[in-house]
Amino acid sequence: MRGVAIIGIGCTKVGEHWDKSLRDLAVEASLRAMEDAGLYDADYVLVGNMMSGYLQNQEHLGALVADSLGLQGAGAAKVEAACASGGMAVHMGCQLIASGAADSVLVVGAEKMTDATTPEVTKALAMAEDQEYSAYTGASFIGLNALVARAYMKAYGVEPEDMALFSVICHKHALDNEFAQFRFPITVEAVMNSPIVADPLHLLECAGIGDGAAAVLLASLDGARKIADAPVELLASTVSTDKFSLHQRDDLTSFKAARASAEAAFRRAGLRAEDIDVLEVHDASSALGLIALEDLGFAERGKAAELIRDGGIEIGGRIPTNTFGGLKARGHPVGATGVYQIVELTRQLRGEAGKNQVGGAERGYAQNIGGAGTTITAHILGRVD
Protein backbone atom coordinates (compact mmCIF):
# COMPACT_ATOMS: atom_id res chain seq x y z
CA MET A 1 0.00 0.00 0.00
CA ARG A 2 1.30 3.43 -0.95
CA GLY A 3 1.63 6.36 1.42
CA VAL A 4 -0.96 9.12 0.99
CA ALA A 5 -0.31 12.86 1.25
CA ILE A 6 -2.21 16.14 1.08
CA ILE A 7 -0.75 18.47 -1.54
CA GLY A 8 -3.44 21.15 -1.70
CA ILE A 9 -6.12 22.63 0.56
CA GLY A 10 -8.88 25.19 0.13
CA CYS A 11 -12.14 26.25 1.71
CA THR A 12 -14.82 28.92 1.71
CA LYS A 13 -16.03 30.92 4.66
CA VAL A 14 -18.89 29.22 6.48
CA GLY A 15 -22.00 31.36 6.59
CA GLU A 16 -25.12 32.41 4.70
CA HIS A 17 -24.13 32.42 1.03
CA TRP A 18 -27.28 33.76 -0.62
CA ASP A 19 -25.43 34.60 -3.83
CA LYS A 20 -23.78 31.19 -4.30
CA SER A 21 -25.15 27.77 -5.17
CA LEU A 22 -23.97 24.42 -3.84
CA ARG A 23 -22.00 23.98 -7.06
CA ASP A 24 -20.45 27.45 -6.71
CA LEU A 25 -19.20 26.68 -3.20
CA ALA A 26 -17.77 23.29 -4.20
CA VAL A 27 -15.97 24.77 -7.22
CA GLU A 28 -14.56 27.69 -5.22
CA ALA A 29 -13.06 25.43 -2.56
CA SER A 30 -11.77 22.98 -5.17
CA LEU A 31 -10.03 25.66 -7.23
CA ARG A 32 -8.35 26.97 -4.10
CA ALA A 33 -7.06 23.48 -3.29
CA MET A 34 -5.76 22.95 -6.82
CA GLU A 35 -4.15 26.38 -6.88
CA ASP A 36 -2.50 25.61 -3.54
CA ALA A 37 -1.10 22.38 -5.00
CA GLY A 38 -0.19 23.89 -8.37
CA LEU A 39 -2.00 20.95 -9.97
CA TYR A 40 -5.23 21.47 -11.92
CA ASP A 41 -6.06 17.84 -12.53
CA ALA A 42 -7.34 14.77 -10.67
CA ASP A 43 -8.01 11.15 -11.54
CA TYR A 44 -11.06 11.12 -9.27
CA VAL A 45 -13.43 13.70 -7.78
CA LEU A 46 -15.25 12.70 -4.58
CA VAL A 47 -17.92 15.00 -3.13
CA GLY A 48 -18.93 14.62 0.51
CA ASN A 49 -22.52 15.77 0.96
CA MET A 50 -25.54 14.71 3.00
CA MET A 51 -28.62 16.65 1.95
CA SER A 52 -28.45 17.86 -1.66
CA GLY A 53 -31.18 15.52 -2.85
CA TYR A 54 -33.63 16.88 -0.28
CA LEU A 55 -32.57 20.53 0.00
CA GLN A 56 -31.51 21.27 -3.60
CA ASN A 57 -33.27 18.43 -5.49
CA GLN A 58 -29.83 17.69 -6.92
CA GLU A 59 -27.94 14.44 -6.90
CA HIS A 60 -25.11 13.14 -9.12
CA LEU A 61 -22.82 15.68 -7.44
CA GLY A 62 -19.56 13.94 -8.35
CA ALA A 63 -20.04 14.36 -12.08
CA LEU A 64 -21.62 17.80 -11.61
CA VAL A 65 -18.55 19.14 -9.78
CA ALA A 66 -16.08 17.37 -12.07
CA ASP A 67 -17.74 18.87 -15.14
CA SER A 68 -17.83 22.33 -13.54
CA LEU A 69 -14.08 22.09 -12.94
CA GLY A 70 -13.35 20.99 -16.50
CA LEU A 71 -12.39 17.50 -15.32
CA GLN A 72 -14.55 15.53 -17.74
CA GLY A 73 -13.19 12.00 -17.92
CA ALA A 74 -12.27 11.80 -14.23
CA GLY A 75 -13.97 9.22 -12.08
CA ALA A 76 -16.50 10.97 -9.87
CA ALA A 77 -19.01 10.16 -7.13
CA LYS A 78 -20.93 11.62 -4.23
CA VAL A 79 -20.09 10.12 -0.82
CA GLU A 80 -22.79 10.16 1.87
CA ALA A 81 -22.48 9.15 5.53
CA ALA A 82 -24.71 11.73 7.24
CA CYS A 83 -22.59 14.34 9.07
CA ALA A 84 -19.52 12.15 8.48
CA SER A 85 -19.86 12.49 4.70
CA GLY A 86 -16.78 14.71 4.47
CA GLY A 87 -14.60 12.42 6.58
CA MET A 88 -15.84 9.39 4.65
CA ALA A 89 -15.02 11.07 1.34
CA VAL A 90 -11.46 11.68 2.55
CA HIS A 91 -11.30 8.05 3.69
CA MET A 92 -12.41 6.80 0.26
CA GLY A 93 -9.91 9.10 -1.43
CA CYS A 94 -7.16 7.64 0.72
CA GLN A 95 -8.12 4.12 -0.36
CA LEU A 96 -7.93 5.07 -4.03
CA ILE A 97 -4.44 6.52 -3.62
CA ALA A 98 -3.09 3.82 -1.28
CA SER A 99 -4.29 1.00 -3.53
CA GLY A 100 -2.74 2.53 -6.64
CA ALA A 101 -6.15 2.96 -8.31
CA ALA A 102 -5.47 6.71 -8.61
CA ASP A 103 -2.47 9.03 -8.46
CA SER A 104 -4.48 12.13 -7.55
CA VAL A 105 -7.91 12.52 -5.92
CA LEU A 106 -9.81 15.75 -5.31
CA VAL A 107 -12.02 15.47 -2.25
CA VAL A 108 -14.50 18.28 -1.69
CA GLY A 109 -17.14 18.47 1.02
CA ALA A 110 -20.02 20.85 0.41
CA GLU A 111 -23.40 21.67 1.94
CA LYS A 112 -25.92 24.44 1.24
CA MET A 113 -28.33 24.68 4.15
CA THR A 114 -29.50 28.28 4.57
CA ASP A 115 -31.75 28.35 1.50
CA ALA A 116 -34.11 26.01 3.36
CA THR A 117 -36.25 26.77 6.39
CA THR A 118 -35.17 25.58 9.82
CA PRO A 119 -37.92 22.90 9.92
CA GLU A 120 -36.74 21.61 6.53
CA VAL A 121 -33.12 21.42 7.70
CA THR A 122 -34.23 19.74 10.94
CA LYS A 123 -36.11 17.11 8.93
CA ALA A 124 -33.11 16.59 6.66
CA LEU A 125 -30.77 16.09 9.61
CA ALA A 126 -33.19 13.54 11.08
CA MET A 127 -32.59 11.42 7.98
CA ALA A 128 -29.39 10.31 9.72
CA GLU A 129 -31.62 8.37 12.13
CA ASP A 130 -33.88 5.36 11.64
CA GLN A 131 -37.06 6.71 10.03
CA GLU A 132 -39.21 3.74 11.10
CA TYR A 133 -38.16 3.53 14.74
CA SER A 134 -36.84 6.97 15.77
CA ALA A 135 -37.58 9.86 13.45
CA TYR A 136 -41.30 9.07 13.16
CA THR A 137 -41.69 9.80 16.89
CA GLY A 138 -40.66 13.40 16.22
CA ALA A 139 -37.21 13.10 17.77
CA SER A 140 -34.94 15.77 16.31
CA PHE A 141 -31.22 15.32 15.88
CA ILE A 142 -30.46 17.89 18.58
CA GLY A 143 -32.96 16.04 20.76
CA LEU A 144 -30.85 12.91 20.42
CA ASN A 145 -27.77 14.94 21.38
CA ALA A 146 -29.70 16.11 24.43
CA LEU A 147 -30.37 12.50 25.48
CA VAL A 148 -26.64 11.82 25.28
CA ALA A 149 -25.86 14.98 27.26
CA ARG A 150 -28.36 14.14 29.98
CA ALA A 151 -27.03 10.59 30.34
CA TYR A 152 -23.44 11.84 30.51
CA MET A 153 -24.22 14.48 33.14
CA LYS A 154 -26.04 11.95 35.30
CA ALA A 155 -23.34 9.29 35.01
CA TYR A 156 -20.42 11.55 35.95
CA GLY A 157 -21.90 14.43 37.90
CA VAL A 158 -21.01 16.91 35.17
CA GLU A 159 -22.66 20.32 35.48
CA PRO A 160 -24.15 22.25 32.54
CA GLU A 161 -21.49 24.95 33.03
CA ASP A 162 -18.78 22.32 32.49
CA MET A 163 -20.17 21.47 29.07
CA ALA A 164 -20.73 25.11 28.18
CA LEU A 165 -17.04 25.91 28.68
CA PHE A 166 -16.14 23.69 25.72
CA SER A 167 -18.17 25.94 23.40
CA VAL A 168 -16.74 29.08 24.99
CA ILE A 169 -13.22 27.93 24.10
CA CYS A 170 -14.26 27.07 20.54
CA HIS A 171 -15.56 30.62 20.08
CA LYS A 172 -12.28 31.97 21.47
CA HIS A 173 -10.36 29.97 18.87
CA ALA A 174 -12.64 31.15 16.04
CA LEU A 175 -11.89 34.84 16.59
CA ASP A 176 -8.84 34.75 14.31
CA ASN A 177 -10.25 32.32 11.74
CA GLU A 178 -11.28 34.25 8.63
CA PHE A 179 -13.37 31.28 7.46
CA ALA A 180 -15.38 30.92 10.67
CA GLN A 181 -19.11 31.56 10.82
CA PHE A 182 -19.29 32.87 14.39
CA ARG A 183 -16.30 35.13 15.09
CA PHE A 184 -17.33 36.53 18.44
CA PRO A 185 -16.56 35.59 22.05
CA ILE A 186 -19.13 34.06 24.39
CA THR A 187 -19.09 33.36 28.12
CA VAL A 188 -20.39 30.48 30.19
CA GLU A 189 -23.00 32.87 31.57
CA ALA A 190 -24.12 33.77 28.04
CA VAL A 191 -24.46 30.08 27.14
CA MET A 192 -26.53 29.37 30.24
CA ASN A 193 -28.77 32.37 29.55
CA SER A 194 -29.36 31.45 25.92
CA PRO A 195 -32.58 29.59 25.05
CA ILE A 196 -32.88 25.87 25.71
CA VAL A 197 -32.93 24.05 22.37
CA ALA A 198 -33.38 20.56 23.83
CA ASP A 199 -32.96 20.16 27.58
CA PRO A 200 -30.21 20.40 28.81
CA LEU A 201 -28.61 21.91 25.69
CA HIS A 202 -28.68 25.66 25.10
CA LEU A 203 -28.59 27.50 21.79
CA LEU A 204 -25.00 28.72 22.27
CA GLU A 205 -23.61 25.22 22.75
CA CYS A 206 -25.08 23.68 19.59
CA ALA A 207 -23.75 23.94 16.04
CA GLY A 208 -25.77 26.24 13.82
CA ILE A 209 -26.97 26.13 10.22
CA GLY A 210 -24.54 27.31 7.55
CA ASP A 211 -23.26 26.93 3.99
CA GLY A 212 -19.70 26.07 3.07
CA ALA A 213 -17.25 23.89 1.19
CA ALA A 214 -13.74 22.60 1.84
CA ALA A 215 -11.41 20.64 -0.43
CA VAL A 216 -8.17 18.67 -0.29
CA LEU A 217 -6.11 17.33 -3.15
CA LEU A 218 -4.56 13.95 -2.37
CA ALA A 219 -1.60 12.24 -4.02
CA SER A 220 0.77 9.39 -3.30
CA LEU A 221 3.46 10.31 -0.80
CA ASP A 222 6.21 9.73 -3.35
CA GLY A 223 4.40 11.86 -5.91
CA ALA A 224 3.70 14.55 -3.33
CA ARG A 225 7.39 14.95 -2.56
CA LYS A 226 7.91 15.93 -6.21
CA ILE A 227 4.94 18.30 -6.39
CA ALA A 228 4.57 20.03 -3.04
CA ASP A 229 7.02 22.00 -0.95
CA ALA A 230 5.34 20.92 2.30
CA PRO A 231 3.18 17.82 1.86
CA VAL A 232 1.34 16.48 4.89
CA GLU A 233 1.05 12.71 5.17
CA LEU A 234 -2.17 10.90 6.08
CA LEU A 235 -0.68 8.42 8.52
CA ALA A 236 -4.00 6.68 9.11
CA SER A 237 -7.56 6.78 7.81
CA THR A 238 -10.13 4.54 9.49
CA VAL A 239 -13.88 4.25 9.91
CA SER A 240 -16.14 2.32 12.26
CA THR A 241 -19.87 1.93 12.81
CA ASP A 242 -22.08 1.09 15.79
CA LYS A 243 -25.67 -0.03 16.25
CA PHE A 244 -27.66 2.39 14.16
CA SER A 245 -29.81 4.10 16.81
CA LEU A 246 -29.26 5.29 20.36
CA HIS A 247 -32.09 3.16 21.75
CA GLN A 248 -30.23 0.02 20.65
CA ARG A 249 -27.14 0.75 22.73
CA ASP A 250 -26.30 -0.09 26.32
CA ASP A 251 -24.30 3.07 27.05
CA LEU A 252 -25.08 6.59 25.84
CA THR A 253 -22.05 8.19 27.50
CA SER A 254 -19.48 6.81 25.06
CA PHE A 255 -19.43 5.97 21.36
CA LYS A 256 -18.16 2.51 20.48
CA ALA A 257 -17.41 3.58 16.91
CA ALA A 258 -15.23 6.44 18.20
CA ARG A 259 -13.17 4.10 20.32
CA ALA A 260 -12.86 1.49 17.56
CA SER A 261 -11.87 3.95 14.84
CA ALA A 262 -9.36 5.60 17.19
CA GLU A 263 -7.78 2.30 18.20
CA ALA A 264 -7.42 1.29 14.56
CA ALA A 265 -5.98 4.67 13.55
CA PHE A 266 -3.43 4.77 16.36
CA ARG A 267 -2.40 1.19 15.60
CA ARG A 268 -2.00 1.90 11.89
CA ALA A 269 0.01 5.05 12.54
CA GLY A 270 2.09 3.44 15.27
CA LEU A 271 1.16 6.25 17.66
CA ARG A 272 -0.70 6.87 20.91
CA ALA A 273 -2.95 9.68 22.07
CA GLU A 274 -0.05 11.38 23.83
CA ASP A 275 1.76 11.68 20.47
CA ILE A 276 -0.94 13.97 19.04
CA ASP A 277 -0.22 17.71 19.08
CA VAL A 278 -3.53 19.13 17.81
CA LEU A 279 -7.04 17.69 17.79
CA GLU A 280 -10.27 18.21 15.84
CA VAL A 281 -13.42 16.68 17.34
CA HIS A 282 -17.03 16.64 16.20
CA ASP A 283 -18.74 19.03 18.63
CA ALA A 284 -22.23 19.18 17.12
CA SER A 285 -23.14 19.91 20.73
CA SER A 286 -20.91 20.67 23.69
CA ALA A 287 -21.50 17.27 25.27
CA LEU A 288 -20.08 15.50 22.22
CA GLY A 289 -16.87 17.48 22.66
CA LEU A 290 -16.37 16.17 26.19
CA ILE A 291 -17.23 12.61 25.24
CA ALA A 292 -14.80 12.74 22.30
CA LEU A 293 -11.92 13.78 24.53
CA GLU A 294 -12.56 10.68 26.62
CA ASP A 295 -13.31 8.23 23.81
CA LEU A 296 -10.10 9.16 21.99
CA GLY A 297 -7.94 8.76 25.10
CA PHE A 298 -7.15 12.39 25.89
CA ALA A 299 -9.02 12.35 29.20
CA GLU A 300 -10.12 9.64 31.62
CA ARG A 301 -13.77 8.64 31.60
CA GLY A 302 -15.80 11.40 33.23
CA LYS A 303 -12.75 13.68 33.59
CA ALA A 304 -12.92 15.76 30.39
CA ALA A 305 -14.41 18.71 32.27
CA GLU A 306 -11.31 18.87 34.46
CA LEU A 307 -9.05 18.94 31.40
CA ILE A 308 -11.11 21.78 29.94
CA ARG A 309 -11.22 23.82 33.17
CA ASP A 310 -7.43 23.51 33.46
CA GLY A 311 -6.98 25.06 30.01
CA GLY A 312 -5.94 21.74 28.50
CA ILE A 313 -7.78 22.17 25.18
CA GLU A 314 -6.81 25.77 24.54
CA ILE A 315 -3.98 26.75 22.20
CA GLY A 316 -0.91 26.32 24.38
CA GLY A 317 -2.63 23.65 26.50
CA ARG A 318 -1.95 19.93 26.76
CA ILE A 319 -4.04 19.01 23.71
CA PRO A 320 -5.20 22.06 21.70
CA THR A 321 -8.64 21.18 20.35
CA ASN A 322 -10.76 22.69 17.56
CA THR A 323 -8.18 25.42 17.12
CA PHE A 324 -10.20 27.16 14.37
CA GLY A 325 -13.51 27.01 16.23
CA GLY A 326 -14.84 23.52 15.64
CA LEU A 327 -18.39 22.82 14.54
CA LYS A 328 -19.78 25.29 17.04
CA ALA A 329 -17.89 28.41 15.96
CA ARG A 330 -16.19 27.68 12.62
CA GLY A 331 -19.54 26.27 11.56
CA HIS A 332 -21.05 22.95 10.55
CA PRO A 333 -22.09 22.68 6.88
CA VAL A 334 -22.56 19.01 7.56
CA GLY A 335 -21.23 17.28 4.44
CA ALA A 336 -18.18 19.55 4.44
CA THR A 337 -17.24 19.42 8.12
CA GLY A 338 -14.92 16.43 7.92
CA VAL A 339 -12.96 18.07 5.09
CA TYR A 340 -12.73 21.40 6.96
CA GLN A 341 -11.09 19.46 9.79
CA ILE A 342 -8.42 18.07 7.43
CA VAL A 343 -7.81 21.52 5.92
CA GLU A 344 -7.35 23.02 9.38
CA LEU A 345 -5.00 20.30 10.61
CA THR A 346 -2.96 20.68 7.43
CA ARG A 347 -2.60 24.41 8.11
CA GLN A 348 -1.39 23.62 11.62
CA LEU A 349 1.17 21.06 10.47
CA ARG A 350 2.44 23.36 7.72
CA GLY A 351 2.86 26.17 10.25
CA GLU A 352 0.30 28.31 8.40
CA ALA A 353 -2.25 28.79 11.18
CA GLY A 354 -1.32 32.38 12.07
CA LYS A 355 -2.53 33.44 15.50
CA ASN A 356 -4.09 30.01 15.89
CA GLN A 357 -0.78 28.22 15.42
CA VAL A 358 0.10 25.42 17.83
CA GLY A 359 3.84 25.64 18.34
CA GLY A 360 5.82 22.67 17.02
CA ALA A 361 2.74 20.79 15.81
CA GLU A 362 3.82 17.63 14.01
CA ARG A 363 0.79 15.32 14.28
CA GLY A 364 -2.94 15.95 14.25
CA TYR A 365 -6.09 13.87 14.73
CA ALA A 366 -9.55 14.48 13.22
CA GLN A 367 -12.81 12.84 14.33
CA ASN A 368 -15.95 13.16 12.18
CA ILE A 369 -19.30 11.70 13.33
CA GLY A 370 -22.29 10.66 11.26
CA GLY A 371 -25.61 10.21 13.02
CA ALA A 372 -25.73 9.89 16.79
CA GLY A 373 -22.33 8.20 16.97
CA THR A 374 -23.31 5.68 14.29
CA THR A 375 -20.51 6.21 11.74
CA ILE A 376 -17.21 7.73 12.86
CA THR A 377 -14.10 8.41 10.80
CA ALA A 378 -10.63 8.97 12.19
CA HIS A 379 -7.67 10.57 10.44
CA ILE A 380 -4.14 11.04 11.72
CA LEU A 381 -1.95 13.50 9.87
CA GLY A 382 1.80 13.94 10.14
CA ARG A 383 4.21 16.61 8.98
CA VAL A 384 6.65 15.47 6.31
CA ASP A 385 10.16 16.82 6.95
Question: How many whole angstroms separate alpha carbon 383 and alpha carbon 276?
Answer: 12
Question: How many whole angstroms separate alpha carbon 305 and alpha carbon 189?
Answer: 17
From the number of C-beta atoms within 10 Å of its C-beta (0-12, 13-18, 19+), residue 195 rates as: exposed
Give the catalytic positions in this structure.
Answer: 83, 332
Question: How many whole angstroms separate alpha carbon 180 and alpha carbon 326?
Answer: 9
- How far is residue 177 from each of residues 174, 263, 314, 349, measured CA to CA in Å? 5, 31, 15, 16
